[in-house]
A and B are shown apart, each in its own frame.
Chain A
Amino acid sequence: MSVISKVINWSRLKSPWVLHFNTGACNACDIEIIAALTPRYDLERFGVLLKATPRHADIILCSGPVTKQVSSRLVRIYEQMLEPKFVVAIGSCASSGGVFGGCYNVEGGIDTVLPVAAYIPGCPASPKAIIDGVVKLLTSLEE
């Protein structure tokens, strides 16, 4: 690996900007994501910034199973993000549909709609797990 790509990799690791998108979750994962921003966990110390626009974000954090109404909007938001971009499925529902698998208004996990780079299990995924999951995703990029 050349020096330049090493530097680029390093920068990507140190500066993950995230976008949070709720695809039909039960609130549990969402309050845990917000909890990760409050003083006890403070995500900014890892360089994580919560961004409001998909153009600025590197990682999209999706929580909840994809409901029928939300799936087209999810794809649109994903398309607005710039490469390289990663999808992180937060919680069991986002990973596989979870307990909502088979419900008539639910498509399933995030991976039925988008390519998912990391699955963070848990119902809900705790703030620590969310931080750990994002960091693991970043470390895997090193290779």
Chain B
Amino acid sequence: MSASLEKGVRVLKEVIDAPIASYFSSCVHCGLCAEACLFYTETGDPKYTPIHKLEPLRRLYEQEYTLLGRLGKLVGLSKPVTDDELEEWKELVYNSCTLCGRCSAVCPVGNDIVYMVRKFREGMSASGHAPEGIIGAVNRTVTIGSPMGVKLPAVKAQMKHVEEDYGLPIPLDAEGAEYMVMLSSMEIINFPEYLAAIAKIMHQAGKTWTLCSTAFEATNAGMQIGNSDLAKLLVMRIVDGAEKLKVKTVISPECGHAYTALRWEGANLIGRPFTFKVQHIIEVLGEFQEQGLLKTEGFETDKLTFHDPCQLARRGGVIKQQRNLMNMVSKNFVEMPDAGYMNWCCGGGGGASAIEEGEELRMEAFKKKKSQLDVVKPDRLVTACANCRIVLEEGLEHYQMDIPVLGLTELIAEHIPDQTSEKGA
């Protein structure tokens, strides 16, 4: 119970760096970032302009780190940041921002707006202005081990199911395995097919792999709320697990933010490079495909389209692999407009899906995805992020669109020939 404005300001002073200073000095108020943000395009409300979501941070930067800003604060030209203001900005910084990075992608002066929102959240959370929903998720992740409250027994139950259903072993805490597979709690609860798919794929590729009993949850609510200390704590669990099991590669599950947290923020959070490699499952599949370790049979014939998770594609650089994989198993794969690097967010990333009071806005923003889908009119929608999947399902239901959503890994696994016979051999 110690969050305070003072603490928030201090944290912001800590995280403001040269890129932020450069970005604020470069902004010409052209408003192009608004055109890239689905919360603006679907509501038409200018307060959702991405750069505007950073207004308190901008003022704080100027007041603390520029001579003129300090002067302005002294003579009262520039008003200090207040608790009330931050509370008002909560909606802008969390509910209406999924850290999707489209604004950063279009800014003509090159401002990485998401980079700044991520840092601004440090101050928002430290000053007690993070939304209850995300605080709850963080709480559960830290205390229970996963944002949805999933504990190891639940995982073990899943493992048992899969082993029984598919006849494939699910290794746990196998030291020296090549891959350590992470899960997101959504997959544990809602999409158990994922675990089965991994088992099939790994088996076919002939790779050793394992789950880790102390680090099975990959999602990082600490990063979503914007608190590096807590995010570090969560990353550290995975690092400890991976180092304990001496694995070569940790596979981030079909979850965008888990990937960003582990792949790009992880080493920086713990302050040292990892001793292992981090890959998204799609990257691994891509690699297997390239090396001929992934063999599929048969094709889907209905019309499929692919929703790129922002953190995987735009913010993660994995764009080609999912397309190659889609074409491997589908005869009728059609791209949505803006697909790939400029794909539109599902509207629930960055922790936004955990905010109950943001649901209405989320549904409003989903109209963007709806319009994309309306162009393609797919029979099914494939993605590679469990969170996207949930949000997409909610949205599709809300707009009464009958389009099933499935994970790419499962889709691939479905086309892997039955291996039970081989197992006996």
A and B: interacting chains = no
User: A residues near B, CB below 8 A?
Assistant: none
